[in-house]
Copies of this chain bind each other. A is one copy, B any other.
Amino acid sequence: MAVDKREHIMEHAISLFADKGFEGTSIRDLAQVAGVNVAMVNYYFGSKEKLVEAILEKKSSYMKDRIEELEANTNLSELDKIDALIEDYVNRILNGASFHKFLYKELMDTKRDVIHTFLNNSFARNTRNFSAIIQKGIDKKVFREVDPILTVTSIIGSISQVVVSKSMCNQLLLKPEGNEPYADEAFKQRLITHIKSMIHAHLLVK
């Protein structure tokens, strides 16, 4: 049961950190929500900060492998690779919306330096690797001479913007408060379609 309980605590921590922030979530809050004793967090993870590191270690190879795999793939066209990445990003980010929100908060936060640096490097490397695919398409003269880094920034930014606030999202979709937009397959598809359409026009059109 030991491993299960660790993950049980981590899942609740992700959701609380996403909504209330790291400092905004007390270990007593977390313990209560997760249904464990206050001492358990320090027992299993050593400290509140190490809990964050454990969460990142567990969850954070994230898109890295997928991007590098696609970058190396020689069968797919650059446009196919970008389409695949758009789909993957939307699915990964929307399915793990709380985790992504939590990542984002930590990325913005300079307080926990090791974590801040780690996340900055991860995000920057993923963006760079992704943009290398676009650059290859430009070199092959399949794509227009767009700004590869900022194009990737727009893709990630489009998805992240959606995930920043559930209630803003519901307002924009004209859904009632309490709706779960990120779990809605139709919305996921709508977002994928929009981003693909925008990026295709951006990359391909004269």
Bound-complex Cα distance A201 to B199 (A): 9
Question: When the two chains form their complex, are residues B23 and A107 in contact, meaning their CB atoms are under 8 A apart?
Answer: no
- Among B19, B124, B198, contact of A154 (Cβ-Cβ < 8 Å): B198
Question: When the two chains form their complex, are residues A124 and B172 in contact, meaning their CB atoms are under 8 A apart?
Answer: yes
What is the number of residues of chain A that contact chain B, defined by CB distance less than 8 Å?
55
- Among B149, B157, B160, contact of A172 (Cβ-Cβ < 8 Å): B149
Q: Copy number in this complex?
A: 2
Interface residues of A (CB under 8 A from B): 18-24, 101, 104-105, 107-111, 116-117, 120-121, 123-124, 127-128, 146-147, 149-151, 153-154, 156-162, 164-165, 167-168, 171-173, 190-191, 193-195, 197-199, 201-202, 205
